Structure 1
Amino acid sequence: MQHNKINKCALAVKLSLLVGSAALTMPAFAADQVEATEQVEVIEIRGIRASQEANLNAKRYSNAVVDVVTAEDIGKFPDKNVAESLSRITGVGVSREFGEGEKITVRGASSSTNRTLLNGQTVATADWFILDNPGRSFNYTMLPSALVSDLEVYKSPLASIDEGSIGGTVILRTRKPLSMDANSVNISLEGQYSEASEKWDPQISGLYSWKNDDDSFGILVSAIKQDRKVVREGIEVLGWPTNPDLDAKVPSHIGVPRFEQDRERETLFLSLQARPNDNLDMVLNVLDSKVDANNQNQNWLIFVNNNAAALTNTVIENGSIVAGEVATGGTAAYNFINRVSSTETRSIDFDLTYSAETFELHTQVGHTKAKGGTYRETSWEYGTPADITGYTFDLRGGKPSASTTVDASDPTQFRPGWIWGGEKPTTDEETYGQLDFTIPVQKGAFSAVKTGVKYRAAERTQDRIAYSWHGPQTMTGNEDVAGSYLDHIFASCYDLAQCGLFSGTVNIDAVVNGNMTQQLAHNRAVMEQIAFEGLNGVPADYAKSLNLPEIWSVEENILALYVQGDFEGEGFRGNVGVRYVDTQQTSGGYEFSGDSWGLQTIDREWLTPEYLAWVETDNDYSEVLPSLNIAFDLSDDQILRFGAARVMARQDWNNISSSITYGSLDVAQPTGSASNPMLMPQIADQFDISWEWYFDASALFAVTYFHKDVKSYRSFSTFVDERYWEEGEEWVDVTFTRPQNGPGGKTDGFEVSYQQAFGDFGVSANYTYTNAKRDEARDLASPGSGLVEGTSRHMANASVYYETDKIAARLMYNYRTEWYKGLHYNGDELWNDSYGQLDASLSYNLTDNITLSLEAVNLTNEEVVEYNTDKARLFSIYENGRRFVAGVRMNF
């Protein structure tokens, strides 16, 4: 038990509960509301109920529509990163494509139109997955929950907070050493078991904080290591093109894939804080977080649209062929993809606050940089002879089926097809500096005037290199062997039984029926050895070529100025302000002639375009963003809030680049996507009105209505252009999709929140209804038209807990209805079906300093189901499985 002196804010509310195993203080914005009236003694309380009281207290005394989660509360969640913790907040949805929360939506706004700030600043992020395109959304796999002290979700903006969000701004706060006891130690040791991988993975985190006797200097060091074997199995359709001969949509490919990844996350955090006197406070934060994400994927595929003319016994639903049969002469192949991938973020931030009697000066400067992506990929394809290949498929029902006349567990059935690969690294970098002044005033209701300036210089890049094992000179020094190194591989490894290319069998029957689930397992180590080292005494060789259309960079310079007035009076408080933002963007990419298929070989004489130049396109715009927040105290325990603002969100980096990409060319009707450097940002006018009733220290009932008038959504147009198909040695037409600024629309909805404690028990629940509509007419022939990304009409959270001095248990359910995810990489509309997840946690305080814990994630083993607009057109069903975590936490 600890005793502290703090200022009293209101007799009706318990203030400044020191929450968390490290004596965490309340978020800064709540402390700003404390008035110096008298000194009271507060006893530190730990636990679920105490942290919820702290969360509610911070929300109650904020000057905007804000939700808060403290570190103690995060510690009670079975969450391994911040996105999963955010999913408990009203109006926040999370995506879990690989079983772990990665990206969020807020109030129907897509992940790319929400901002995440660490201590008020940008954190660079780069995705590891090769199919992800660089966007504005933050990848939360980089931030374990143990790193943060508390998080705040601003649903109504302040002029003093960075622009860039249509839905909401998430601000993560890290711990500070002078806010903790000297020589504080926090250690967590855990083991995580995943049903999908059938593996136990270690997870360890540690924190040490020290400060000197006079509280003028402190050091905090935190280290986190989390390993996870990720296994995802399922069924997937790679596209739904309209086949003109059948006048119906037909699955392009149907595959039964198995994805495996060794995910290793290491995070280091250092905080130095100096407070030489009562006026000056300085904090230096350094973050280094890395995720090694090497992965492999095998996919046993049938090429339905390629064999559309031979389809029989078809079943058509809503103009789509959802079941059928090819008796013989079909096309099928194994794709084996091996990737060396990672992502790393580094940030350094210096924060200085000087408080004088007549003003407060705050300055913050820093630099953040991320690099990530796939640094080496090898994709092998082995096919089957057409005369022995037949198949049947049925995509209906909760468990589709797919079978072939080929025994996919027999490696002798498969013949060489093609090998391709390459690199796709990305970078994200930003340097920032800001200066803020706060001047106390007594002018009518105004209590303070804040003004400031901020400058951000950012750059996002993507490189792309293609590997060609069939390239020239790949057999230099081995003239006695005919052809290229690719020819040598396929002559030696003439089926999958040769060269040690397979390593047993695997059964992928979790979500699929039929014999396509019985497969051979590929030998990743041998494949990579053959591709990159050599085979039968012949050294490996492959040509490296720049894939010119996919290489780009975008520079962005942002200057922001703001002024904000804080006001308060008898029974009301709030702020009013305006933020001016000037944005200058430069998008660069290659312009080239088509004589080298868009490639430039860099390690030998082979492909060189006759014309090649780096071309840059400038796009500049400025916006004025006013905001108003006001809270009325209807009574001692009831608050009425109103907020109005103009907000903006810049377009995704990839969309404003100069890139053009396309998928497989060996299919009927290949597709691709192109970017548009002249896209303008999304602008929206919004207002919120909420009623909050704090009928007990740990109880709340609140209702909020929100409305957003979006001025322009991103739309898409299409065009057709030729691309060279190397394997078939011919030019083919590709249909490309390009983004453009389209008509706007309106989003409105309401949120209902309730929480209350009943002795040792407690309950928390919230519900969000969102109705998002676009002014653009819905045209099924124009993919994406009339749709709003990221919006679930209904979202709900429910949590019940039981807590005593010894035991704490919590059961949590998170649910959202279906949502539109944007365009698939093949140009089709991609939807995620409704998803609900049940999680649980149990902890036992062995001593005052040692806690045993048991956590369960996805207890009901929910599947991720995606479809193409009509639920009959299945895109994928993935099973990520349950996870269980057992651990011990020690605090000293």
Structure 2
Amino acid sequence: MKDNSQCLRRLDMPLMALAVAMHTTGAVAQQDGPQAMETVVVTAQASNARSDLERQRNANKVVAVQTSDAIGELPDANVTEALQRMPGVFIARDQGEGRFVGVRGIDPNLNASTINGISLPAPETDSRAVALDVIPSDLLASLEVFKTLTPDMSADSIGGAIEIKSLNALDYDDSQYKFSAENSYSSLQEENSPKLAASMTHVFALSGDRRLGVALAASHQKRHFGSENIETDGRWEHFTAVDGSTGIGAREIEQRDYTITRERTGIAANFDLDLGSDASLYLHSLYSDFADEEIRQRNSWKLDAQRDVPESISDNSAEWEEAALEKSLKDRREQQEILSVVFGGEHYFDLWNFSFALGYSHAEETEPHRRDTTFVLEPLRLGYVEAGKTPRMAVDSKGLEKVLDPASYQLDELVIEDNDTEDGELSLRLDFSREFEWAGNPSTIQFGLHERQRKKQGDLNATIYEGFAGDYTLADFARNNIDYHLDTFGPGINAGSLNRFINNNLADFALDEAETALSSARDYTMWEDISALYVMNTVDLQRSQWVFGVRYEYTDFTAEGVRVVESEEPIPQAEPIAEGVYASAVDYRRDYGLFFPSVNFRFDYNDNIVLRAAYSESLSRPSFGYLNPSPAEIEYDEGELKVEAGNPGLQPYQSRNLDFSAEYYADQLGMFSVGLFHKQIDHFIVLSDVSSTADFSQYVGTLPVEEAEVLQPINGDSARIGGVELAWTRGFDSGFLLRANATLTDSHARLGLGADRQRSDSISLPSQADVVGNFVVGYERDAFSLRLSAAFRGERLLEVDLEDAAGDRYEDDHLQLDFSARYRFENGLQLTFTGVNLTDEPYYVHSGGFNGQYEEYGPTYALGLSYRGFY
């Protein structure tokens, strides 16, 4: 085989006040008389660690806790990044920032999130998991991750239940206020980003022993950053080239350069009214606004634009004839809003306690006037001369001049989108409890009613233009060559001049009616009403505690959507909405009721050792993307059918969970724990080709189908997850604080494939990481504080290729180092320096060792100043 590098040319040519003593030096000063003074070393880091551990120790279930001051010690800009420091927790990142949270290595979609006791909706179109990065960490009082459940908690959690609590003035002895200002610097983009935050708590004394606590907090950040990316569109597959050579190659590779501005604004307003010893009322509210402006420059190397096989190939290079190179610009602003309001109270009636909470939460994601514009250059002789993590693209000498000349690229397509997704929930909790004695032991019986009514809807609109009343090229809208470190990118597209051109000439563009109809008719609405009843008993024995009971949840699910078919033949019982495009309504409803027993046992073996055991049953409802009644694609052509659709009939994951743990708490600051867990999951969900069992008439009526490919999520066989969880904390008289945790997980799931498939039916659970770990070294002496943290997540399976396991996509392991240094002045000022992603850890997805996606972000550094005062 000839060496492709000779035919192709590389393109890279031309704090709060301290109040608790955490450890002593051992020095004692003797006095005349009975008094003796201990020399005490007090550090904020140790104080916060002790507070977190005490709450964990006293809990009636397996839980990890982080309070607001502990969160503030690390460079975590949002809730997601703060959670990653907790045992068993990992985060899924977007553009280097943490977005979604996984517990015990399990898919973030299998967790539940609440804020101030109210479920959080998801603004994203497909997801049930909430991207917690929209909530600034400055608004928090504490974070709790529950790994076992009690009957008074929602059963909708297999991985874990995340509870976010915002500020409460009655939690503080003094009225206080805090202001902070920060500037961060992105080394990759060489951009500065300001941030401001303020909070205030005050307690008003009313008549008698009544008190009103008011807590207000606000945060605003406008962050400028970006990333560089190279990724493969599609899978790497085996080819036999024209010249007879064989190898593994890709049909399309993309180079991407992102310039991003993310703006976060968060406001919390909490009012707590203490009416004395027998009653209280509260109103808690939180509003978060998250705007993401993204300019994406992209080169799409469409190697198979005209030919199905390359001219020549090896496992590290390929050369294609009549290929195409597209340059495109995505210009979009995505805005997400979350509003959570809860009004509740508690009242004691002799032996009875009654509490209620009425909540409303709403999330919305809008994407107005998004514009994707494409310029194309073809035909060309293109390929790559290096595969691996970052393929190196190449072009023959004849085409090199064209590739670098903006006038060679013709304006080909414009897509304008206006998308809106809303997710809202109204909830009510009524809880009753009564204390009594059971066999001479203190006991509490508790029961209640929980009602949740949720509505999620999507309005998707795309207008596609392919004729532009003129011979326009990239030269009319070009900008300088893109600064792209992964390879040579060439000229980019000027967003300003392109938008002015579109605004002035839009009326003259030719509309592609068929593609516009296909892209804009897939709106959907889903309703999910959940009614729950529970009964729970807590029994306190001399050195142990039992919490047991059962919960019943009834789910009523309704979905409405549109089935849109692209076909040259009329589709029976469907309305034509454009030439070759037919639509029909989809309505679906199902309901189910399930019981969820649970028991949590805690035994205080001695003053230092706590043993725990728990059994619970839980569920996770399918993601809304999987339940979507509007198919993403239906294409019919002369007996050939291709479908990609959701499945509103999916059953939820159901899990039986078993936990054991032992926790050792030292007399001074120290803790070591080991836990074992096992989960048996039924109705595991997998995306599968269901062509052999699908009812084709739902898509094309009575039209004949000779060959079909129908991809749809289905309930597969069972899955299991087991693992061990380790956590260690140790404080030293020298001022050092060490914290380490690791979760080792193993999973097994069956795809439920037919016997005719070549690949193995057994896989690890998708999105599950085998290893999750954190290590923190802290040092504090007098007014000076340092923290160095490492967060590790092991490799995890992201996508399953149903035909060939070599095509499965894996996210590579990720190790990120972060650093913070603080100096506290006596007047209440604090100076902070932080560094995030110090080693420039990339995001890497691979398939059989070949590139799936490789992205770099660079380190980010920040300098901040804060002031805390009391009044």
TM-score range, shorter chain: 0.7 to 0.9
2:482 alignment counterpart? 506
> Matches of residues 446-595 of structure 1 in structure 2 within 5 Å?
447-470=443-466, 486-488=467-469, 491-493=470-472, 495-498=473-476, 501-509=477-485, 512-513=486-487, 517-534=488-505, 545=517, 547=519, 550-591=522-563, 594=566
1:879 alignment counterpart? 856
Q: Distance in 2 between matches of 1:598 and 1:265?
A: 49
1:163 alignment counterpart? 155
1:459-508 CA distances to partner (integer Å, 9 max, x unpaired)?
111121120335xxxxxxxxxxxxxxx331xx142x2112xx12212121
One-letter amino acid matched to 2:392: S
One-letter amino acid matched to 2:449: V
Q: Given that residues 20 and 71 in structure 1 are in contact (C-alpha distance below 8 angstroms), is that contact kept between their aligned partners in structure 2? A: no
1:787 alignment counterpart? 764
One-letter amino acid matched to 1:451: F
What is the deviation of 1:609?
8.5
Tell me: CA distance 1:541–1:330, structure 2 relative to 1, closer, same or farther (3 Å): closer
Tell me: CA distance 1:814–1:51, structure 2 relative to 1, closer, same or farther (3 Å): same
Segment drifting more, 245-254 vs 787-796: 245-254
Aligned pair partner of 1:416 in 407, 411, 416:
411
Secondary structure of residue in 2 paired with 1:790: coil
One-letter amino acid matched to 2:534: Y
One-letter amino acid matched to 1:763: L
What is the deviation of 1:331?
1.8
Q: Given that residues 108 and 772 in structure 1 are in contact (C-alpha distance below 8 angstroms), is that contact kept between their aligned partners in structure 2? A: no
What is the deviation of 1:219?
2.0
Tell me: CA distance 1:248–1:377, structure 2 relative to 1, closer, same or farther (3 Å): farther
Q: Given that residues 778 and 786 in structure 1 are in contact (C-alpha distance below 8 angstroms), is that contact kept between their aligned partners in structure 2? A: no
1:340 alignment counterpart? 333
Q: Distance in 2 between matches of 1:597 and 1:117?
A: 49
Aligned pair partner of 2:825 in 836, 846, 863:
846
2:132 alignment counterpart? 140
Secondary structure of residue in 1 paired with 2:205: coil
> Matches of residues 799-810 of structure 1 in structure 2 within 5 Å?
799-810=776-787
Secondary structure of residue in 1 paired with 2:400: coil
In the alignment of these two chains, the number of paired residues is 799
One-letter amino acid matched to 1:236: E
Q: Given that residues 675 and 724 in structure 2 are in contact (C-alpha distance below 8 angstroms), is that contact kept between their aligned partners in structure 1? A: yes
Q: Distance in 2 between matches of 1:846 and 1:735?
A: 67
Q: Given that residues 21 and 46 in structure 1 are in contact (C-alpha distance below 8 angstroms), is that contact kept between their aligned partners in structure 2? A: no
1:772 alignment counterpart? 747
Tell me: CA distance 1:676–1:852, structure 2 relative to 1, closer, same or farther (3 Å): same
Q: Given that residues 634 and 644 in structure 2 are in contact (C-alpha distance below 8 angstroms), is that contact kept between their aligned partners in structure 1? A: no
Secondary structure of residue in 1 paired with 2:323: coil
Tell me: CA distance 1:825–1:206, structure 2 relative to 1, closer, same or farther (3 Å): farther
Aligned pair partner of 1:120 in 117, 121, 130:
117
Secondary structure of residue in 1 paired with 2:448: strand
Q: Given that residues 273 and 282 in structure 1 are in contact (C-alpha distance below 8 angstroms), is that contact kept between their aligned partners in structure 2? A: yes
One-letter amino acid matched to 1:715: V
Q: Given that residues 121 and 423 in structure 2 are in contact (C-alpha distance below 8 angstroms), is that contact kept between their aligned partners in structure 1? A: yes
Q: CA RMSD in A?
A: 3.2
What is the deviation of 1:758?
0.9
* TM-score with structure 2 setting the length: 0.86
1:353 aligns with 2:346: yes
Tell me: CA distance 1:718–1:503, structure 2 relative to 1, closer, same or farther (3 Å): same
What is the deviation of 1:97?
2.6
Q: Distance in 1 between matches of 2:634 and 2:668?
A: 57
Q: Given that residues 56 and 698 in structure 1 are in contact (C-alpha distance below 8 angstroms), is that contact kept between their aligned partners in structure 2? A: no
1:476 alignment counterpart? none
1:87 aligns with 2:84: yes
One-letter amino acid matched to 2:479: S
Q: Distance in 2 between matches of 1:424 and 1:528?
A: 19
Q: Given that residues 110 and 789 in structure 1 are in contact (C-alpha distance below 8 angstroms), is that contact kept between their aligned partners in structure 2? A: yes
What is the deviation of 1:391?
3.1
Aligned pair partner of 1:619 in 583, 590, 609:
590
Tell me: CA distance 1:51–1:239, structure 2 relative to 1, closer, same or farther (3 Å): same
Secondary structure of residue in 1 paired with 2:281: strand
Q: Distance in 1 between matches of 2:761 and 2:167?
A: 43
2:234 alignment counterpart? 239
Secondary structure of residue in 1 paired with 2:46: helix
Secondary structure of residue in 1 paired with 2:97: coil
1:679 aligns with 2:650: yes
2:24 alignment counterpart? none
1:187 alignment counterpart? 179
Q: Given that residues 430 and 456 in structure 1 are in contact (C-alpha distance below 8 angstroms), is that contact kept between their aligned partners in structure 2? A: yes
Q: Distance in 2 between matches of 1:842 and 1:391?
A: 48
1:628 alignment counterpart? 599
What is the deviation of 1:865?
0.1
> Matches of residues 80-479 of structure 1 in structure 2 within 5 Å?
80-127=77-124, 133-180=125-172, 183-214=175-206, 216-240=211-235, 242=237, 250-306=249-305, 309=308, 311-316=310-315, 322-326=316-320, 328-386=321-379, 388-396=380-388, 398-404=389-395, 405-407=399-401, 408-444=403-439, 445=441, 447-470=443-466
Tell me: CA distance 1:280–1:620, structure 2 relative to 1, closer, same or farther (3 Å): same
What is the deviation of 1:833?
0.3
What is the deviation of 1:220?
1.8
Secondary structure of residue in 1 paired with 2:713: strand
Q: Distance in 2 between matches of 1:597 and 1:853?
A: 67
* TM-score with structure 1 setting the length: 0.84
Q: Distance in 2 between matches of 1:610 and 1:865?
A: 39
Secondary structure of residue in 2 paired with 1:112: helix
Q: Given that residues 671 and 826 in structure 1 are in contact (C-alpha distance below 8 angstroms), is that contact kept between their aligned partners in structure 2? A: no
Q: Given that residues 533 and 539 in structure 1 are in contact (C-alpha distance below 8 angstroms), is that contact kept between their aligned partners in structure 2? A: no
Gap runs ≥5 in structure 2? 1-14, 21-39, 697-704
Q: Given that residues 319 and 381 in structure 2 are in contact (C-alpha distance below 8 angstroms), is that contact kept between their aligned partners in structure 1? A: no
Tell me: CA distance 1:369–1:533, structure 2 relative to 1, closer, same or farther (3 Å): farther
Tell me: CA distance 1:778–1:203, structure 2 relative to 1, closer, same or farther (3 Å): farther
What is the deviation of 1:374?
2.2
1:852-886 CA distances to partner (integer Å, 9 max, x unpaired)?
00011000000000123x22x31110001111111
Secondary structure of residue in 2 paired with 1:49: helix
Secondary structure of residue in 1 paired with 2:142: strand
Segment drifting more, 296-305 vs 195-204: 296-305
What is the deviation of 1:545?
4.5
One-letter amino acid matched to 2:474: L
Aligned pair partner of 1:650 in 621, 646, 649:
621
Q: Distance in 2 between matches of 1:380 and 1:656?
A: 31
Q: Distance in 1 between matches of 2:781 and 2:581?
A: 76
Tell me: CA distance 1:20–1:625, structure 2 relative to 1, closer, same or farther (3 Å): farther
Q: Distance in 2 between matches of 1:761 and 1:171?
A: 30
Q: Given that residues 184 and 210 in structure 1 are in contact (C-alpha distance below 8 angstroms), is that contact kept between their aligned partners in structure 2? A: yes
Tell me: CA distance 1:807–1:788, structure 2 relative to 1, closer, same or farther (3 Å): same
Tell me: CA distance 1:226–1:662, structure 2 relative to 1, closer, same or farther (3 Å): farther
Q: Distance in 2 between matches of 1:784 and 1:249?
A: 24
1:766-790 CA distances to partner (integer Å, 9 max, x unpaired)?
1111010114468986799633122
Q: Given that residues 390 and 851 in structure 2 are in contact (C-alpha distance below 8 angstroms), is that contact kept between their aligned partners in structure 1? A: no
Identical pairs, percent? 22
What is the deviation of 1:606?
7.6
Secondary structure of residue in 1 paired with 2:56: helix
Q: Distance in 2 between matches of 1:781 and 1:258?
A: 38
Gap runs ≥5 in structure 1? 1-18, 25-42, 128-132, 317-321, 471-485, 600-604, 723-730
Secondary structure of residue in 2 paired with 1:406: helix
Q: Given that residues 531 and 540 in structure 1 are in contact (C-alpha distance below 8 angstroms), is that contact kept between their aligned partners in structure 2? A: no
Q: Given that residues 548 and 590 in structure 1 are in contact (C-alpha distance below 8 angstroms), is that contact kept between their aligned partners in structure 2? A: no
> Matches of residues 656-695 of structure 1 in structure 2 within 5 Å?
656-662=627-633, 673-695=644-666
Aligned pair partner of 1:755 in 710, 724, 729:
729
1:811 alignment counterpart? 788
One-letter amino acid matched to 1:761: F
Q: Distance in 1 between matches of 2:333 and 2:324?
A: 29
Tell me: CA distance 1:266–1:336, structure 2 relative to 1, closer, same or farther (3 Å): same
Secondary structure of residue in 1 paired with 2:491: strand
What is the deviation of 1:204?
0.7
Q: Given that residues 429 and 458 in structure 1 are in contact (C-alpha distance below 8 angstroms), is that contact kept between their aligned partners in structure 2? A: yes
What is the deviation of 1:337?
1.6
